[in-house]
């Protein structure tokens, strides 16, 4: 049996609202989602905004980059890095973050959340 | 077996401690002490005056003895030993039999037979009771004297100063101070130093009488001179407490001391003597370390081990009234045994002597006064008979010309147990073994393996140095590159970016790197671009390459809010500007604190409020303080000649000029500076990256100092220069640093790693040995001419201003997760887990 997740796409912002190779924080009800435009790779990613290390709402203000080709974000507080694809922590094995799907339509950014 | 210990001093206690640790409860232990307290730390007796209580000085509490089944009987000296029946009798009439008897009776102060020693106001310096008596008497004394200029005598003199007797004289019978440890020349330096601290010192002075009726009023000397004193402490040496042993018929030395063999046995095999009462090989060991060693030998013997006492190294290092004094090995070598190399700096009060064997290969001993930093290294060299380098003088002079200075010398010299990461308590040894044993060859791998550097991250540059150093010692080739995306060092990258005239992070990555960059290479590249082109750091394309703090022109703080630090050049501020800071802080509910750099930090600002806060500050004439950037922070100053009665020059004006010249200069790490108006150095300029101190003739320029986790005093680069020359040298110095240092390397570390050290640096900056001076000065001129306040630009540019919101889709809303607690009528960030 497969459990199908029901995804809801919501409108986040315009693509031009997000800085190149950087992130912004999107509000969805009480959730905070970090949205990144990896312009260099022409890719979009979304993760939870909270860094699990010290529970700080900061990942959207972090620097993005890659490690052996894997796209990642570094928390501005203590430089823990997380994979933007899997949400796994690349600096230690203790914590991971939630990731979200992103799609672009006509210059608008949509993020998928589970209902 | 029943063991009785006579004496509960430091050595007697240590014997119990070691015995208990070796074999608990197998022996019955009884201890007699004559003082009212259990053993206390006599070595640090003078701390009694610095506010320590008698309890603080205890080696262990009375409970410790009972917890370990040791019967402790205090205030009860032993008066008789019956060796035939193996019994002892105490003053209170207790009779105790023993299988093994340990004498740890210690020593007493030696009081020379001077007429009048019984008078009131004459003290010895030995027990806490002596100190209590001195303290009570000192209240009515104005002048004091100490007989004895040895170790203990000088300690006693310090005690007198601590008691508030400013006029204290030291009387030494020998021609010099500390005659057993140091030579004439060293003694002169020490004497000079102590005199500058307020002590009066007489050598070659023999006391013939103590004057006064009931209480002391003065002293008479054999050279027919007299002095008036209200109080006297006699500290002329020790005599071993051997009277009980003597009475029991044990062998004692002609000048005192209970004779013992290598196992510390007296002439009765069931009786041992340890500590200052024992005479081994015609020598009394008047230090605590050999006493502990003796205790260890006896414990080993009683618990079935094998150990012998064959003498002990009497090397010592101590701080006497703030002056380092050390002597090791054989401090006085006769001319047929070896030769001495002596460094004497009467200006700084430093004296160093090393004695080397006639073939120049072995270190026999030496003396260090005023600066004993090299003591441990020299002691080890001496003890383990390490073969000396061809120029043995280097070991006290330091390598001149710097040919010996090697990369990472700073970390290499640290001991293995040195704490590198204090957040996670990781030592140097643990980091090095992660490199050797776990094959960690990147900083990230070390972080993952040891957790070092995962807390505040302040130790990461040191971790990198240790890794590079360890890999080099393993014979591995280490290339100092930025990260996986750039195969260049920062210095190489700096030159290439300039040559190719690259202006954005992406251009640099395309031309010189690979992949997508990361948090390791983005900030240094952004810093290089800012240093080279001096364009606004938030220009499009480079903004997201900045570290979070630079990106939002503020320091991110616990909880996700930011701090605001306006520039207050030289620490000078008008009342009106103070009022503005106060009202802005009030309006935006900010926590305010004076920083160490003489400015005011406003904490707890929401990201959304930053542009409005800065708008108000800028309207009132403030500008960015760059507290968030790897750039010039503050130029601290003392009040200088405009107000201070000692000031030689106007340090505040010069500090303002310096701060305004270099503000905004992006560099590998933050830069701090200070200007002091006279030698008193109230601005602490010598702890700064560059510090300026006024002299009669101009300024002295010091460079590469540091506070922080590895404090280091700045070194003199040039002396007695005028303001113009001073600025010229700083221009060159800063440009050289900005171009060549590794990322996150402060000037102190940069210099430590520089081949040739300060001499090389001076050659480059002052003598222009690289021929770069003119170019660097031009570049600095460009920096000064193109400087603009980043915050002003940010609030005037709508596009940039827009970025200061927490939610992209709800720009007016603040982050609801930000929480504060209250403390002392202000707020603080909510504690994180």
pLDDT tens for B625-654 read 999 999 999 999 999 999 999 999 999 999
Q: Is some CB atom of chain B closer than 8 A to the CB atom of A52?
A: no
Spatial distance between the Cα atoms of B261 and B278, rounded to a whole number of angstroms: 10
Spans of all domains in chain A = 7-114
Average pLDDT, rounded, for chain A: 91
B544, A79: Cβ pair inside 8 Å? no
User: CA B235 → CA B121, B157, B239, B324, distances in Å?
Assistant: 14, 10, 11, 21
Taking every pair of C-alpha atoms in chain A, what is the biggest distance, in angstroms? 42
In angstroms, the CA B706 to CA B686 distance is 8
Could you tell me which residue, B607 or B193, shows the higher pLDDT?
B607
Q: Which of A15, A65, A113 to mutate to test the interface with B (most CBs of B within 10 A)?
A: A65
Q: Are the Cβ atoms of A77 and B485 closer than 8 angstroms?
A: no
Is B518's CB within 8 Å of A66's CB? yes
Taken as a whole, chain A contains a residue count of: 115
Dump strand ranges (E) for B70-134: 70-73, 78-82, 87-90, 95-97, 100-103, 107-109, 122-124
Residue-wise pLDDT tens digits, B230-259: 999 998 888 999 999 999 999 999 889 999
pLDDT on residue A60: 95
With pLDDT > 90 as the criterion, what percentage of chain B qualifies? 55
The residue of chain B with its CA nearest to that of A42 is B516
Q: What pLDDT, on the 0 to 100 scale, is given for residue B407?
A: 34
Residue B366 has pLDDT above 70, yes or no: yes
Please provide the CATH number assigned to the domain covering B122-236: 3.50.50.60
Tokens of B811: 């720009």
* Cα–Cα distance, A80 to A82 (Å, whole number): 7
- Per-residue tokens: A90: 């690349």
**Average pLDDT over every residue of B96-107:** 95
Tokens 């004498």 locate to B103
Task: Determine contact, residues B468/B430, Cβ cutoff 8 Å.
Answer: no
Specify the pLDDT at position B314. Answer: 76
The stretch B564-575 carries a mean pLDDT of: 96
Q: Which two tokens stand for residue B419?
A: 């704490």
Q: Which residue has the tokens 């030291």?
A: B170
Cβ-contact B603, B821 below 8 angstroms? no
Task: Give tens-digit pLDDT for B383-439.
Answer: 767 677 777 777 777 644 443 333 334 567 667 877 777 667 788 889 999 988 888
Q: Is the pLDDT of residue B706 over 90?
A: yes
Q: What is the spatial distance between Cα B134 and Cα B128, in angstroms, rounded to a whole number?
A: 10
Nearest to B606 by CA among B561, B552, B669, B666: B561
Q: Do B517 and A40 touch (CB under 8 A)?
A: yes
Report which of B245, B35, B17 is spatially closest to residue B130, judged by C-alpha positions: B35
Task: Tally Cβ neighbours within 10 Å of residue B126.
Answer: 18
Closest to B283 (Cα-Cα) out of B248, B251, B323, B256: B256
CA atoms lying within 13 Å on the CB side of residue B572: 18
- The reported pLDDT for the residue numbered B289 is 78
Question: Residue A4: is its pLDDT beyond 80?
Answer: no
Report the residue of chain A nearest B551, measured CA to CA. Answer: A61
- Comparing CA positions, the residue from B697, B693, B688, B687 lying closest to residue B675 is B693
**Which residue has tokens 């010192």?**
B201
Q: A61–B451: do the CB atoms touch at under 8 Å?
A: no
Residue B237 near residue B150, CB atoms below 8 Å: yes
- CA distance linking residue A19 with residue A17, whole number of Å: 7
Report residue B606's pLDDT band, with 50, 70 and 90 as the boundaries. Answer: very high
pLDDT, position B598? 96
CATH T-level topology, domain A7-114: Rieske Iron-sulfur Protein (2.102.10)
Q: Which residue has the higher pLDDT, B208 or B414?
A: B208
Lowest-confidence segment of B311-320, B438-447, B521-530, B762-771 by average pLDDT: B311-320
Taking CA atoms, B404 is separated from B226, B380, B743, B822, in Å, by 55, 20, 25, 55
Residues paired with residue B280 on neighbouring β-strands, in sequence order? B260, B283
Question: Does any CB of chain A come closer than 8 Å to the CB of residue B799?
Answer: no
DSSP labels, B247-268: HTT--B-TTS-EEE-TT-B-SS
Residue B540 has pLDDT above 80, yes or no: no
The third-level CATH classification (topology) of the domain covering B2-107+240-302 is FAD/NAD(P)-binding domain (3.50.50)
Q: Is the pLDDT of residue B16 over 60?
A: yes
Average pLDDT over residues B576-589: 96
Give the mean pLDDT of chain B.
88
In angstroms, the CA B507 to CA B498 distance is 12
Contact A5, B791 (CB under 8 A): no
pLDDT tier for residue B324 given thresholds of 50, 70 and 90: confident
pLDDT for B646-661, tens place per residue? 999 999 999 999 999 9
Assigned token pair, B591: 């926590």
Plot region of B109 (φ>0 → left; ψ -120 to 50 → alpha; else → beta): beta
Domain coordinates in residue numbering, chain B: 2-107+240-302, 122-236, 316-397, 409-473, 490-546, 632-786
Q: Are B391 and B354 in contact (CB under 8 A)?
A: no
Q: Where does chain A show beta strands of DSSP type E?
A: 7-14, 22-28, 31-38, 43-48, 50-51, 56-57, 63-67, 70-74, 81-83, 99-100, 102-105, 108-114
Q: How far is CA B407 from CA B293, B411, B585, in A?
A: 39, 9, 47
Q: How far is CA B420 from the centre of its chain?
A: 15
Q: Given CB atoms, is B807 within the 8 Å cutoff of chain A? A: yes
Q: Which CATH class is domain B409-473?
A: mainly alpha
- Contact call for residues B652 and B676 (beta carbons, < 8 A): no
Write down the pLDDT at residue B601. Answer: 96
Sequence-separated (6 or more) residues with CB below 8 Å from residue B334: none
Spatial neighbors of B671 by CB under 8 A, at least 6 apart, are B631, B632, B633, B662, B665, B689, B690, B734, B747
* Mean pLDDT of all residues in B143-162: 88
Contact call for B556 and A72, based on CB within 8 A: no
Closest chain B CA to residue A35? B808
Count other Cβ atoms within 10 Å, centred on residue B269. Answer: 10
Nearest CA to B279 among B262, B295, B293? Answer: B262
Burial classification of residue B751, based on how many CB atoms lie within 10 Å of its CB (0-12 exposed, 13-18 middle, 19 or more buried): buried
Q: Does B485 touch chain A (CB under 8 A)?
A: yes
pLDDT tens digits, one per residue of B334-361: 778 888 888 888 888 889 999 988 888 8
Residue of A nearest to B829 (CA): A56
Q: What pLDDT, on the 0 to 100 scale, is given for residue B635?
A: 97
Tokens for B396?
Answer: 């006290």
| C-beta separation of B443 from B431 below 8 A | no
pLDDT for residue B461 is more than 80: no
Phi, psi values for residue B341, rounded to 5°: -115, 130
Q: Would you call B541 and A20 a contact, using CB atoms and an 8 Å cutoff?
A: yes
Question: Does the beta-carbon distance from A69 to B515 stay under 8 Å?
Answer: yes
Alpha-carbon gap, residue B223 to B208, rounded angstroms: 9
Quick check: do B2-107+240-302 and B122-236 share a fold? yes
The yes-or-no verdict on residue B295 having pLDDT over 90 is: yes
Portion of chain B with pLDDT greater than 70, in percent: 96
Q: Which residue of B has its CA nearest to A55?
A: B832
Give the Cα separation of B327 and B321 in Å (integer).
17
Other beta carbons less than 10 A from residue A73's beta carbon = 30
Residues B634, B673 contacting (CB under 8 angstroms): yes
- Report how far apart the first and last C-alpha atoms of chain B are (Å, whole number): 55
CB B761 within 8 A of CB B730: no
Using pLDDT thresholds of 50, 70 and 90, give the confidence band for residue A94: confident
Task: Please determine, looking at this structure, whether the domain spanning B632-786 carries the CATH number 1.20.1250.20.
Answer: no
E strands, B704-763, where? 715-721
Question: Does B308 have pLDDT greater than 70?
Answer: yes
Map residue B376 onto helix, strand or coil: helix
Predicted pLDDT at A41: 92
Model pLDDT for residues B746-781, shown as the tens digit of each residue: 999 999 988 888 988 999 999 998 889 999 999 999
- Across the A:B interface, residue pairs with CB atoms under 8 Å apart total 116
* B457 vs A: CB within 8 A: yes
Distance CA B224, CA B208 (A): 9
Helix (H, G, I), strand (E, B) or coil at B151: helix
The top-level CATH class assigned to B316-397 is: alpha beta
- Cβ-based burial of B53 (10 A; exposed 0-12, middle 13-18, buried ≥19): exposed
Taking alpha carbons only, the member of B532, B569, B526 closest to residue B550 is B526
Selecting from A27, A72, A78 the residue whose C-beta is nearest the C-beta of B457 gives A78
Higher pLDDT, B396 or A58: A58
Structure-block tokens of residue B392: 């043995």
Q: What sign for the dihedral angle of Cα B372, B377, B382, B387?
A: negative
B270: pLDDT strictly greater than 90? yes
The pLDDT of residue B402 is 41
The pLDDT value recorded for residue B408 is 34
- Bridge partners of B352, per DSSP, are B343, B368
If pLDDT is split at 50, 70 and 90, which confidence band does B693 have? very high
Shortest Cα distance from B476 to chain A (angstroms)? 23
A92 at interface of B, judged by CB pairs closer than 8 A: yes
> What is the DSSP code (8-state) at residue B181?
T
* Phi, psi for residue B64 in degrees, rounded to 5: -55, -40
């Amino acid at each position: 049996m497969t459990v199908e997740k029901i995804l809801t796409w919501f409108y986040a912002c315009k693509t031009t609202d997000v800085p190149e190779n950087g992130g912004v924080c999107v509000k969805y009800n009480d959730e905070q989602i970090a949205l990144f435009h990896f312009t260099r790779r022409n890719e979009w990613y979304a993760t939870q905004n909270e860094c699990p290390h010290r529970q700080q709402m900061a990942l959207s203000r972090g620097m993005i980059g890659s490690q052996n080709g894997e796209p990642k974000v570094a928390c501005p507080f203590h430089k823990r890095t997380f994979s933007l694809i899997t949400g796994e922590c690349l600096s230690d094995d203790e914590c991971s973050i939630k990731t979200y799907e992103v799609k672009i339509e006509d210059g608008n950014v949509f993020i998928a959340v589970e209902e | 077996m029943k063991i009785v210990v006579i004496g509960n001093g430091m050595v007697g206690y240590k014997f119990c401690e070691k015995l208990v640790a070796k074999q608990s409860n197998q022996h019955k232990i009884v201890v007699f002490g004559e003082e009212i307290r259990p053993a206390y730390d006599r070595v640090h007796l003078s701390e009694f005056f610095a506010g320590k209580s008698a309890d603080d000085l205890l080696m262990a509490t009375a409970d410790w003895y009972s917890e370990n089944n040791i019967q402790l009987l205090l205030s009860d000296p032993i008066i008789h030993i019956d060796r035939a029946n193996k019994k002892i009798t105490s003053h209170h009439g207790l009779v105790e039999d023993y299988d093994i008897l340990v004498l740890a009776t210690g020593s007493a102060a030696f009081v020379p037979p001077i007429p009048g020693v019984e008078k009131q106001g004459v003290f010895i310096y030995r027990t806490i009771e002596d100190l209590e008596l001195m303290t009570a008497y000192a209240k009515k004394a104005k002048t004091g004297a100490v007989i004895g200029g040895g170790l203990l005598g000088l300690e006693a003199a310090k005690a007198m100063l601590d008691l508030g007797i400013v006029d204290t004289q030291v009387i030494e019978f020998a021609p010099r101070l500390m005659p057993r440890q140091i030579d004439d020349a060293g003694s002169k330096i020490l004497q000079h130093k102590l005199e500058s601290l307020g002590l009066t010192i007489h050598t070659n002075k023999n006391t013939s009488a103590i004057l006064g009726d009931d209480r002391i009023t003065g002293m008479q000397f054999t050279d027919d001179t007299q002095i008036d004193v209200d109080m006297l402490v006699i500290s002329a040496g020790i005599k071993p407490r051997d009277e009980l042993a003597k009475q029991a018929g044990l062998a004692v030395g002609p000048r005192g001391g209970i004779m013992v063999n290598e196992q510390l046995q007296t002439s009765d095999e069931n009786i041992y003597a340890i500590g200052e009462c024992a005479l081994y090989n015609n020598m009394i060991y008047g230090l605590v370390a050999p006493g502990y060693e003796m205790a260890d030998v006896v414990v080993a013997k009683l618990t079935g081990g094998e150990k012998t006492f064959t003498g002990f190294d009497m090397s010592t290092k101590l701080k006497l009234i703030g002056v380092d004094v050390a002597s090791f090995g054989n401090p006085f070598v006769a001319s047929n045994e070896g030769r001495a190399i002596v460094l004497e700096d009467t200006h700084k009060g430093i004296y160093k002597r090393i004695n080397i064997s006639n073939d120049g290969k072995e270190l026999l001993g030496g003396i260090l006064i005023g600066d004993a930093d090299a003591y441990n290294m020299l002691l080890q060299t001496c003890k383990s008979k390490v073969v000396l380098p061809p120029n043995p003088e280097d070991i006290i002079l330091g390598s001149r010309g710097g040919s010996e200075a090697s990369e990472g010398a700073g970390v290499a010299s640290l001991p293995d147990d040195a704490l590198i990461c204090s957040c996670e308590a990781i030592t140097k040894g643990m980091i090095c073994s992660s490199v050797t044993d776990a094959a960690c060859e990147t900083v990230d791998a070390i972080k993952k393996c040891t957790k070092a550097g995962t807390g505040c991250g302040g130790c990461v540059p040191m971790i990198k140095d240790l890794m590079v150093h360890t890999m080099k010692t393993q014979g591995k080739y280490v290339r100092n590159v930025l990260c996986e995306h750039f195969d260049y060092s920062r210095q190489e990258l700096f030159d290439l970016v300039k040559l190719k005239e690259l202006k954005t992070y992406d251009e640099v990555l395309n031309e010189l790197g690979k992949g997508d960059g990361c948090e390791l290479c983005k900030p240094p590249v952004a810093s290089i671009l800012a240093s080279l082109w001096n364009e606004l750091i938030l220009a499009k394309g480079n903004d997201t390459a900045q570290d979070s703090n630079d990106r939002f022109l503020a320091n991110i703080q616990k909880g996700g809010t930011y701090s605001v630090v306006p520039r207050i050049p030289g620490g000078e501020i008008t009342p009106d500007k103070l009022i503005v800071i106060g009202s802005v802080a009030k309006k935006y509910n900010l926590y305010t604190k004076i920083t160490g750099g003489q400015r005011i930090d406003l904490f707890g600002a929401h990201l959304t409020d930053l542009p409005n806060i800065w708008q108000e500050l800028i309207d009132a004439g403030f500008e960015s303080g760059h507290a968030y950037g790897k750039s010039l922070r503050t130029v601290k100053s003392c009040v200088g000649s405009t107000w201070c009665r000692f000031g030689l020059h106007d340090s505040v004006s010069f500090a303002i000029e310096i701060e305004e010249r270099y503000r905004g200069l992006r560099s590998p790490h933050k830069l701090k500076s200070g200007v002091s108006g006279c030698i008193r150095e109230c601005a602490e300029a010598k702890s700064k990256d560059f510090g300026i101190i006024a002299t009669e003739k101009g300024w002295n320029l010091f460079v590469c100092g540091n506070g922080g986790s590895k404090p280091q005093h700045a070194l003199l680069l040039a002396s007695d220069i005028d303001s113009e020359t001073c600025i010229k040298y700083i221009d060159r110095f800063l440009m050289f640093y900005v171009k060549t240092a590794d990322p996150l390397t402060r000037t102190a570390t940069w210099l430590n790693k520089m081949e040739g050290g300060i001499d090389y640096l001076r050659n480059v900056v002052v003598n222009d040995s690289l021929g770069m001076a003119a170019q660097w000065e031009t570049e600095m001129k460009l920096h000064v001419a193109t400087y603009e306040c980043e915050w002003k630009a940010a609030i005037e540019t709508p596009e940039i201003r827009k970025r200061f919101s927490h939610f992209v889709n709800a720009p007016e809303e603040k982050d609801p997760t930000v929480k504060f607690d209250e403390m002392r009528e202000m707020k603080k960030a909510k504690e994180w887990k």
